[in-house]
Amino acid sequence: MRTSDFDFELPERLIAKRPLEKRDASRLLRWDDEAFVDGAIADLPFLVQEGDVWVVNDTRVIPARLLGQKPSGGKVEILLLEPTGATDVWTAWGKANKPLKQGDKVLFGDGFHAEVLARDGKCVEIRLVADKQDFTDVAQAIEAHGHMPLPPYIDRPDSEEDKQRYQTVFATHDGAVAAPTAGLHLTPELMNKMEAAGASFVHVTLHVGPGTFQPVQVDDVHAHKMHEEAYVISKQAAEKINQAKAEGRRVLAVGTTSLRTLEAACVDGVLQAGSGRTDIFIYPGYDFQMVDALLTNFHLPQSTLLMLVSALAGKEQVLKAYDYAIEKAYRFYSYGDAMFVLGKNTCK
């Protein structure tokens, strides 16, 4: 299986650079007996079956992009990845005219700076320091100085609008540096209508890392190594999902991050509660244990996310759907439109 098998040509004009005015105004593509159906996110209540369990990722995107400078004046950009466990110490990506090195200091503004503790290739380990006269803690300083880490294909500065719209309405647990974008379409009103139609919502947490945007750099798909991400599944969530599977009800993932969490934490068909880390890589040939269907945005060419969707619904059918979406001018990527995808073995 080659990475080039998952390529397609996307016109630049179809990349959604900004969100629509309303979250639930996006279009929704699905197919029925191989015939494509144009719809809207607002149609989701009509796709619900009684007893469905829809699983959402409640991670919260932190303003992880910090713009600063060295004392000499050289510009520096830091992308926080995750805390190491030591007080106020983070792993991060650092970008500067001259590579950051141990001992460097980066100034972000009055009362907030970073000290570089170590470097390993692209990654640096930094200690964030907040002046207690200006901020109560480092988390408050990050919120004050940080920028939303928009994907690289949204080639514009972040705005006040992004602080709200590049975040799901159910975002709860800080830790993501990229949004679980399928969840961006949902509103409380829409979710209430879906519940009235027979659905229930279950939350899991997977802190999405920047690796979700990293290109596959090998042509042999099997040789690709996924980035690792932290997840948490509560006992209550696992019990609800396992009960649904035992009773033959559908489990539907809102987004690829929810799907990866469920499949990574499944052992012999049973979802395990708890916390962990996963680098699960799902591509065609994968045998799904938990997920029957998926709500997902349109993904990058040759990406691991496109491979995941192809594993669930079939590569040929998914690529046909992408060709159709391009023909019909659907909006692509994080702020774009969505697809509703049934697994190959799922009843409609």
Summarize pLDDT for 234-253 with one digit per residue, the tens. Answer: 999 999 999 999 999 999 99
In a domain, 155, yes or no: no
Instruction: Let me know if residue 154 belongs to a domain.
Output: no
Is 56 found in the same domain as 90?
A: no
Classify residue 152: in a domain, yes or no: no
My answer on whether 205 and 75 are in the same domain is: no
For residue 209, count CB atoms less than 10 angstroms from its CB and return exposed for 0-12, middle for 13-18, buried for 19 or more. buried
Task: Indicate if 246 and 103 belong to the same structural domain.
Answer: no
Same domain assignment for residues 70 and 48: no
Residues 199 and 285 in one domain: yes
Q: Is residue 316 situated within a structural domain? A: yes
Which structural domain, as residue segments, surrounds residue 70? 65-146
Q: Is residue 348 part of a domain?
A: no
Domain's final residue, options 91, 111, 146: 146
Assess whether 311 and 258 both reside in one domain: yes
Structural domains in the chain (count):
2
Domain stop point among 105, 122, 146: 146
- Please indicate, yes or no, whether residues 79 and 180 belong to a single structural domain of this protein: no
Spans in the chain with pLDDT lower than 70 = 345-348
Same domain, 337 and 192: yes
Q: Are 49 and 69 contained in the same domain?
A: no
Contact (Cβ atoms closer than 8 angstroms) between residue 146 and residue 114: no
Write the CA distances from 251 to 109, 216, 299, 307, integer angstroms: 47, 29, 22, 20
CATH number, residue 123 = 2.40.10.240
SS3 324: helix
CA nearest neighbour of 121 among 149, 93, 96:
93
User: Quick count: other Cβ atoms within 10 Å of Cβ 129?
Assistant: 16
pLDDT at 347: 47
Same-domain pairing of 197 and 331: yes
Cβ-in-10-Å burial (0-12, 13-18, 19+) of 159 comes to middle
141 and 286 co-located in one domain: no
Residue 3's nearest CA partner among 177, 298, 214 is 214
Considering the domain boundaries, does residue 203 fall inside one? yes
User: Pairing between strand 123-130 and 53-57?
Assistant: unpaired
Q: Which residues contact 233 (CB under 8 A, 6 or more apart)?
A: 204, 205, 261, 265, 271, 272, 273, 274, 275
pLDDT in tens, 178-207: 999 999 999 999 999 999 999 999 999 999
Is residue 39 one of the residues assigned to a domain?
Answer: yes
What would the two tokens of residue 98 be?
Answer: 């001259």
- What's the angle, vertex CA 223, arms to CA 221 and CA 228, rounded to 5? 100
Of 146, 174, 206, at which residue does a domain stop?
Answer: 146
The DSSP result for 107-129, as a single string, is EEETTEEEEEEEEETTEEEEEEE
Residue 198: partners with Cβ closer than 8 Å, 6 or more residues away: 48, 49, 50, 51, 52
Q: What pLDDT score does 348 carry? A: 47
Whether 347 is covered by a domain: the verdict is no
172/105 same-domain check = no
